[in-house]
Amino acid sequence: MQQCPAEIKIEELKKTAMEYRKSVCALFIFLFAVSSLEIVCAQIRRTNVSCFENERRALIQFKESLVDQSNRLSSWTGDNCCKWMGVGCNIVTGHVVNLDLSNKFPNAEDLATVMSRESWKKWEKFKGTVLGGELNPSLLKLKHLRYLDLSYNDFSRIQIPPFLGSLKNLRLLNLSCAGFGGKIPHHLGNLSRLEHLNIGICKTFFVVAHNLFEADSVPWVGRLTSIRTLHFVGLSIPNSEDLFNSINMLPSLLSLSLVNCKLTSFPSRMHVNFTSLTSLDIQMNFMESTIPKWFSNLTSLVNLNLGLNAFKGSTDFFEQLRDLETLDLQVNQFGDPVLNSLCRLNSLVYLDLSRNQLKSSDFHCLRNLTSLSVLKLTGNMLQGPFPESLTSSFCRLRVLDLTDNNFSGLLPTFIRDPSSCYQNSLKELHLRNNVYNDYFPAGLESHKDLEIVNLANNSLYGPIPYSIGKITNLKILLISNNDLNGSIPSSIGELSNLEDLDISYNLFTGVVTELYFAKLSNLKNMQISGNSLVLNVSYTWVPPFQVRMIGMSSITVGPRFPPWLETQLQLERLIMFDANISDTIPAWFRNITVSLGTIDLSNNKLAGGLEAFCDAQRLSTIDLSNNLLSGSIPSCFGTLQRLITLTLSDNNLEGHIPSSLGALGIQLSYLHLQNNRLSGKLPSTLQNLTNLRSLHLGENNFKGTIPAWLGRRVKSLQILRLNSNEFFGDIPLQLCQIRFLCVLNLGGNNLDGSIPHCFRNFTCMRIKSRLDTSFGFRYNERLDHIMKGRSLEYSDSQIPLLKFMDLSENNFIGGIPEELTELEGLLSLNLSSNNLNGSIPKMIGNMKQLQALDLSLNKLSGPVPQGLASLNYLSYLNLSFNKLSGPIPTGNQLQSLDDQSIYAGNNGLCGWPLLKSCHDKRSTSQPNLDQDDKGDAESNHLWFYAGIGPGFCVGFVGVLTILHFKKSWRVMYFQFLEKIYKKLYVAIFLIIAKFQRRG
């Protein structure tokens, strides 16, 4: 059968196609073989490739301009520069194409992101490996250079050299964290082939706020037409809109980072051309604006970081960014609506909404985020129980951070009941600072991947289950400040990966032995303070760990000084106050002080001298208060150049303050030596402590006049306490130059003259609001003050609120300056036991914050000002034993101060609460009592006063038996004796007054 022509043609076409396919395959195989052969040959040639001589000489010239302290470029010798460290050559041509001199120090980019001594140590080592110096223009001879990386070095803020803009073949230029500064040359805009540009300072806590680059204008950015990655960190940009207009000319841009660039706002309207952008980071610009609508056109975004700004307003545009995987919105002003705008982002893996203004716990729609692995909601105002509807969705979470909110009730179901999840993927759990009220989660061991558990500062109760020892990957366990009780399970000793343990300030009881630390070889931070625990380890115990921080306060560690501390040679913080230690400081302790930065052994019974601390050159805080230490303060303390806080109060120290302390200069901020036996004059070298915030020298035997240099040189003082010494003379007027003085106590000296009118200059005492005392570190200063008839203690957080002046028990004369009434922020004013005369200032009612006022035992005359009645916070008042006269004011707070002794010794006063009525019959007295009741009251008063004398004598004899052994008791006793004396005097005066009236 003959084929038709059409069929014949089809067959021919099939044959032709088959032959064509065979030819293409053969060609492909041939080309592959040639390419493979070329690669093999190139690899062979690579071992023998040698760079060009002119390029080798150029590199040598470049090296000679660098400073290489660690000798990183020691390999730059010989003829073949292609084998030098950091130099890469084209394997075909031999030209230098890569120059990578970035610092390869381990984890350099993460250094110092956490403020710790370990970070500083690593940073110091890192600084020893950096390159510096200058960049030699000889680089221009490397005409084929495509890759230049100088990151993580230190070029001491020199300007980026303009000649880099002539390296026409550059594809990558990385100058990040390299120590450059000044203006960025516009010549970089000539790099039309550049694909990756990275310029900026290190993103670390100690340099992020300064060393900013400057840019007068940024149009040159728009000429980088091939750019795909553009990263600026710390670039000071004067005009945000100009920058974004330039960026809008870069259609190939994929990654844009503008961190800490002082941007002020986005262009409100812009036709976006960089729609291919997949990563955008503009954190830390503190932009106070809304996000423009054109953001919705960036539909290719995968990573978006808008953190550390002040964005607010609508976030509806998020619904269009369906490819987002990472979204960081921390530290902004977004409210609850932002949650609803995120509910359709099914690809979202990482979400950080920390420190915004979220209030509602109704975020059920987050269950739609089926890919979510990390959720951070720290520092919002979320409250109530955690939504149960999220349990199944959140079983997939790797990190959950709800720190610093007001979540209450039971813990999230998937935490306390792991059986509610088909998988338990949790790696980090942060619930610190909430109000959860629940048992410690018994099923926590089911989360096998857990590495961090932070449940501190809640109201959790019950024991820690023994099964906690099964969480073998656990590295951090923080459960302090709860109501957990029972004994600590010894299974904690099985957590071999544990690095940070904090169970302090709970209700734990029992004995802690070596078994509890058996396998904790990785432990770095151990805090078990504030429990009813007894540490009972053998004298020869050698711990398996080398910790950096020990917190064993308010438990029983003693009575002996713990010998196992001798093995801890990496110790940086030792907090062991109130640990029931009654011992001398051993000689070996000097060895471990070498690494110490903070030591607090206060409230023990340590004896001996202070010489063990002479080699502690890293110490910043020393607190040895309330011990039995004796001898003098060693002059070697003046060599501790990092010392910020020195607290040696309540000991038995003698001698003078060493003049060497002045060598600490601006470093020392707190000097507390009160209640010792120190004597002599204040050394003039203390005037070099110009950054001193608190000086407490009370209850010693210092003599001389108050030095004028305190006011001239030490102007940063906020607390000055020189009370209960033997200072004499006038108050130097220079003291008024200490404008931010909040606490002034000069009581119990031999000062005379008049009270300076310039005290009105104390700004801290004038303002009603809290004084800012954020010093960049935390130090708990225990400040005592006798107020409202009792001795009180104040911590560091309360000191800014405590503003008082005490000039009592001196020999001041003259009147009370009217200017004192301008100190409207003052809480307590004590001018008692002086020789002041004149009247009480009429404007005293302006001191609205006053809680305590003592003007007793002076020679004040005239009426009691009506303004006293307007002091609504006044709860302690003493005007006794003056020469005041007239009616006692009535109204408001004064009505609650009904103790007659307040006004005793002022024969001219009348009106309630005194029994003496005023002649003009004004309504200043209380309604008359029933006569029988009044007689009974008077009879009871007589019996009470008759018993005071014998009772006082018995107590006095009992107290005398122990006064010899403790100076602090002696001081307290004489203060108590003085108060009793005043009460007796008042009582006798009142009895005599009653008999006179009856007569």
Q: Which residues are 860's β-sheet partners? A: 838
Whether 658 and 783 map to the same domain: the answer is no
Q: What is the pLDDT of residues 80-95, one digit of tens each?
A: 999 999 999 999 999 9
Range of the domain at 765: 693-927
Same-domain check for residues 623 and 730: no
pLDDT over 90 at 710, yes or no: yes
State yes or no: pLDDT of 40 exceeds 60.
no
Q: In this structure, which long-range contacts are made by residues 834-840, counting pairs with CB atoms below 8 Å and at least 24 apart in sequence?
A: 834/807, 834/808, 834/809, 834/810, 834/858, 835/811, 835/859, 836/755, 836/812, 836/860, 837/813, 837/861, 838/814, 838/862, 839/815, 839/863, 840/816, 840/864, 840/865, 840/879, 840/884
Q: Given this model, what pLDDT does residue 223 score?
A: 96
Contact 970, 977 (CB under 8 A): no
Q: Which pLDDT tens digit goes with each residue over 191-200? A: 999 999 999 9
Averaged pLDDT, 539-556? 96
pLDDT for 533 equals 97
Are 744 and 872 within one domain? Answer: yes
Specify if 865 maps to a domain: yes
**DSSP 8-state assignment for residue 290:** B
CB atoms within 10 A of CB 892: 13
Residue 915 has pLDDT above 50, yes or no: yes
Mean of pLDDT values over 209-230: 82
Q: 746 and 598 share a domain? A: no
Q: Residue 524: what pLDDT?
A: 97
Q: How confident is the model at residue 788 (pLDDT cuts 50, 70, 90)?
A: very low
**Cβ distance 440 to 489 under 8 Å?**
no
Domain count, the chain: 4
179 shares its domain with 122: yes
Of 165, 188, 214, the position where a domain reaches its end is 214
For the stretch 557-607, pLDDT in tens is 989 999 999 999 999 999 999 999 999 999 999 999 999 999 999 999 999
Pairwise CA distance, residues 222 & 201, whole Å: 22
- Residue 93 domain flag: yes
The DSSP annotation for 131-158 comes to EEE---GGGGG-TT--EEE--S---TTP
Q: DSSP label at 196?
A: E
Residues 562, 606: Cα–Cα separation, whole Å: 12
The interaxial angle of helices 967-998 and 931-963, nearest 10 deg, is 150
Q: Are residues 777 and 890 in the same domain?
A: yes
- The residues near 380 (Cβ < 8 Å, ≥ 6 apart) are 353, 354, 355, 356, 357, 358, 359, 404, 405
Query: Two tokens at 435?
Result: 């109000």
The span from the CA of 361 to the CA of 710, in Å, is: 54
- HEC readout, 639-708: HCCCCCEEECCCCEEEECCCHHHHHHCCCCCEEECCCCEEEECCCHHHHHCCCCCEEECCCCEEEECCCC
Q: What is the DSSP letter of 926?
A: P
End residue of a domain, out of 191, 214, 237 = 214
The count of other CB atoms within 10 Å of the CB of residue 294 is 16
Does some domain include residue 59?
Answer: yes
Is there a domain that residue 653 lies in? yes
Confidence label for 215 from pLDDT (cuts 50, 70 and 90): confident
At 417, the pLDDT band (50, 70, 90 cuts) reads confident
Q: Which two tokens stand for residue 251?
A: 């259609």
Q: Please name which of 876, 838, 649, 684 lies closest in space to residue 755, comparing C-alpha atoms.
A: 838
* Nearest of 343, 329, 344 to residue 377 by alpha carbon: 329
Between 268 and 944, residue with greater pLDDT? 268
Alpha-carbon separation of residue 233 from 133, 163, 259, 262, 677 (angstroms):
22, 22, 5, 10, 56
For 646-661, what is each residue's pLDDT tens digit?
A: 999 999 999 999 999 9
Q: DSSP for 206-234?
A: TTTTS--EE-S--GGGGG-TT-SEEEEES
User: In residues, how long is the chain?
Assistant: 999
In the predicted structure, residue 378 carries a pLDDT above the cut 80: yes
Can you spell out the DSSP letters for 360-399? ----GGGGG-TT--EEE-TTS--EESPPGGGHHHHTT-SE
Q: Give yes or no for a contact between 419 and 394, defined as CB atoms under 8 angstroms apart.
A: no
773 pLDDT band, cuts 50/70/90, is very low
Interior angle at CA 868, CA 912 and CA 862, nearest 5? 75
> So what's the pLDDT on residue 545?
97
User: Is the domain of 673 the same as that of 765?
Assistant: no
Whether 992 and 849 map to the same domain: the answer is: no
pLDDT reported for residue 422: 78
User: Does some domain include residue 74?
Assistant: yes
Using the predicted structure, report yes or no on whether residue 936 has a pLDDT greater than 50. Answer: no
pLDDT band at 429 (very low <50, low <70, confident <90, very high): very high
- Across residues 784-794, what is the average pLDDT? 49
Residue 67 bridge partners (DSSP): 132
Decide which of 622 and 368 is more confident: 622
- What are the angstrom distances between the C-alpha of 875 and each of 829, 848, 866, 870, 904? 12, 12, 16, 12, 17
Indicate which CATH number applies to the domain containing 907.
Answer: 3.80.10.10
Contact (Cβ atoms closer than 8 angstroms) between residue 714 and residue 687: yes
Of the two residues 781 and 648, the one the predictor is more confident about is 648
Residue found under tokens 């003698």? 654
2-22: pLDDT as tens digits = 444 444 444 554 565 456 555
**pLDDT at residue 1 is higher than 50:** no
pLDDT at 799: 54
**Amino acid 210: pLDDT:** 46
Closest CA relative to residue 742, chosen from 831, 669, 818, 826:
826
- pLDDT > 80? residue 968: no
User: 675 and 697: one domain?
Assistant: no
30 has a pLDDT exceeding 70: no
Give domain status of residue 19, yes or no.
Answer: no
The whole-angstrom separation of Cα 162 and Cα 185 is 6
Q: Is the pLDDT at 124 greater than 50, yes or no? A: yes
Q: From CA 423, how far away is CA 446, in angstroms rounded?
A: 10
Q: What is the mean pLDDT of the chain?
A: 86
Residue 300 to residue 323: CA distance in whole angstroms: 6
Which among 628, 621, 632, 684 has a CA at the least distance from the CA of 656?
Answer: 632
Q: Are 896 and 762 in the same domain? A: yes
Q: Cα(160)–Cα(180) distance, rounded to whole angstroms?
A: 6
| CA angle, residues 342, 345, 350, in degrees to nearest 5 | 85
Residue 684 has pLDDT above 70, yes or no: yes
Q: Does residue 926 have a pLDDT over 90? A: no
Residues 240, 270: Cα–Cα separation, whole Å: 13
Residue whose C-alpha is closest to residue 565's, from 585, 911, 555: 585
Confidence at residue 77, expressed as pLDDT on a 0 to 100 scale = 94
The pLDDT of residue 439 is: 96
Residue 631 lies in a domain: yes
Residues 663 and 699 grouped into a single domain: no
Please give the Cα distance from 621 to 645 (Å, whole number).
5
Q: Give the tokens for residue 828.
A: 């307590």
Whole-number Å distance between alpha carbons of 731 and 749? 11
Percent of the chain at pLDDT > 70 equals 81
Summarize the confidence of residues 53-78 as an average pLDDT. 96
Strand partners, 478: 454, 502
- Residue 104: CB atoms within 10 Å: 12
pLDDT value, residue 2: 47
Are residue 736 and residue 701 in the same domain, yes or no? yes
Q: Which residue has the higher pLDDT, 123 or 409?
A: 409
Mean pLDDT value across residues 346-355: 96
Residues 6+ apart with CB under 8 A from 357: 333, 334, 335, 380, 381
Q: Which of 620, 646, 681 is the last residue of a domain?
A: 681
Q: Which two tokens stand for residue 411?
A: 């813990």
Please give the angle made by the CA atoms of 908, 909 and 913, to the nearest 5 degrees. 155
Specify if 876 maps to a domain: yes
